[in-house]
């Protein structure tokens, strides 16, 4: 994906998830942050999903895309804290 496409996807995903999260009781900051983490995880997964859909056999590219997904494990951890109401900053 090109940078422009990534940014468009991220913006669309964030604006999609924020109302859902607000409806579940997260405050605005929590909802915005969690929506960003979800969008980031999804955008990192897109190249790997594309590999599967295209039945790509370029093992080096597939491994690179697997690395891309796991390199950003911080998004999983930070998003998980918010999702499970474990982020101390948001509890005040």
- For residue 75, the enclosing domain spans 3-90
Q: 3-class DSSP state for residue 72?
A: coil
Whether the Cβ atoms of residue 57 and residue 81 lie closer than 8 Å to each other? no
pTM of the predicted protein model: 0.79
pLDDT digits (tens, 9 = 90+) for 62-80: 999 999 888 888 888 888 8
| Total structural domains within the chain | 1
Can you tell me which residue has the tokens 């579940």? Answer: 24
The distance of Cα 17 from the centroid of its chain, to the nearest Å, equals 11
Q: At a CB cut-off of 8 Å and minimum separation 6, what does 82 contact?
A: 26, 30, 33, 34, 37, 90
Give the chain's length. Answer: 92
Q: What is the pLDDT of residues 21-59, one digit of tens each?
A: 999 999 999 999 999 999 999 998 999 999 999 999 999
Predicted pLDDT at 92: 46
């Amino acid at each position: 994906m090109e940078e422009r496409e990534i940014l468009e996807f991220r913006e669309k995903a964030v604006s999609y998830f924020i109302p859902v999260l607000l409806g579940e009781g997260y405050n605005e900051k929590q909802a915005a942050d969690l929506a960003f983490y979800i969008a980031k995880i999804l955008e990192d997964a897109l190249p790997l999903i594309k590999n599967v859909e295209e039945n790509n056999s370029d093992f080096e590219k597939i491994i690179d895309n697997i690395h891309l997904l796991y390199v950003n494990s911080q998004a999983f951890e930070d998003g998980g804290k918010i999702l499970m109401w474990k982020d101390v900053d948001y509890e005040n």
